Amino acid sequence: MHIIAFQAMPSLRKDGIPYWIFWFMFLIILLLFLFIFLRDHSLRLRLSAFFAGARRRSLLIQLRFKLKREKQKRESVLKKLGERAWDREMPVEGAESTLAALEETVGKRDSAQMEGKNVFTEIEKLHKRLGELNAQSDQKIRESRTQKQPFDELLKKKRDELRNFKKIPPGEGVERQIGEVQREIEDTVRRIEEIEGRIREMEAEKKGQQQELAQEINFWEKKKEKLQRHIKEIDAEREELYLSLGLLLEEKRIESQELNGLYADIDLVKGRIATLYRRIQTLGGA
């Protein structure tokens, strides 16, 4: 009965909501949101302020990046100005201490470079010695192995002979020949061991000399690295002194055909920097 009742029940609808009804409802919801947006003045103002604030923040980031780049350009031009005045030995009032410090950096750099050349020469000598040592040691070891080769072949031959003799039935002549071959094997083994001992000694000596030279090379390499860092520090110090001299020249504007082009570059960069500052202040980013 239950089966009959189940079969008599009408089949349920398996299809979902038709697509056109879904899109119709979705359109109605969008129209409602649009209607609310058009009627709510404060909502429109908040959305407008949000997007305007995002644009302002984006613009401020761009302006600050440009300002940083222009400041770097100004610093670079000022350094060039100071370097050119130094190279041309132009007298600058009030820059006596800066000029004296620049003169000192020249002496320090020349001294460091000379020491660096000596260090480089020493490293080259040590590498050359290491190469010569390896070549000499390898040659001696090859010669010893060449001397050992005939004894290796002889030992193999005698051991083959001994095995063959042992296959022959015992007898007075066989026993004597076996004894002679065994003595020859012992003598050959002794000679091989002597040569192998010399080879091991040469390899150990080579390794010790290599380690000794490697330590010396490492010492001079560290000294070279230290000198390179020292030269970089001197160069950085000199760049700062060029900047100080450039700032002083920018203030005093010493008349010189060789400096006028750089003065003009500085004025252009300063103008761009002032414009960027004004735009940032206008946007409230000061």
Mean pLDDT in residue range 130-156: 93
Is a pLDDT exceeding 80 seen at residue 24?
no
What CA–CA distance (Å, rounded) separates 66 from 276? 8
For the stretch 26-52, pLDDT in tens is 788 877 766 676 666 565 556 555 555
CA 252 to chain CA mean position, Å: 43
Contact residues for 90 (Cβ-Cβ < 8 A; gap 6+)? 254, 256, 259
34-45 as b/e: b if 16+ CB within 10 A: eeeeeeeeeeee
* Per-residue confidence (pLDDT) for residue 175, from 0 to 100: 79
* Per-residue confidence (pLDDT) for residue 7, from 0 to 100: 46
For the stretch 58-94, pLDDT in tens is 888 888 999 999 999 999 999 999 999 999 888 888 8
Contact residues for 127 (Cβ-Cβ < 8 A; gap 6+)? 217
Output the pTM of the full model: 0.66
Average pLDDT, the chain: 85
Start-end of H helices in the chain: 2-8, 19-39, 41-87, 96-167, 172-252, 257-282
Q: What share of the chain in percent tops pLDDT 70?
A: 85
Q: What is the DSSP string of 11-51?
A: PPP-----HHHHHHHHHHHHHHHHHHHHH-HHHHHHHHHHH
Is a pLDDT exceeding 50 seen at residue 163?
yes
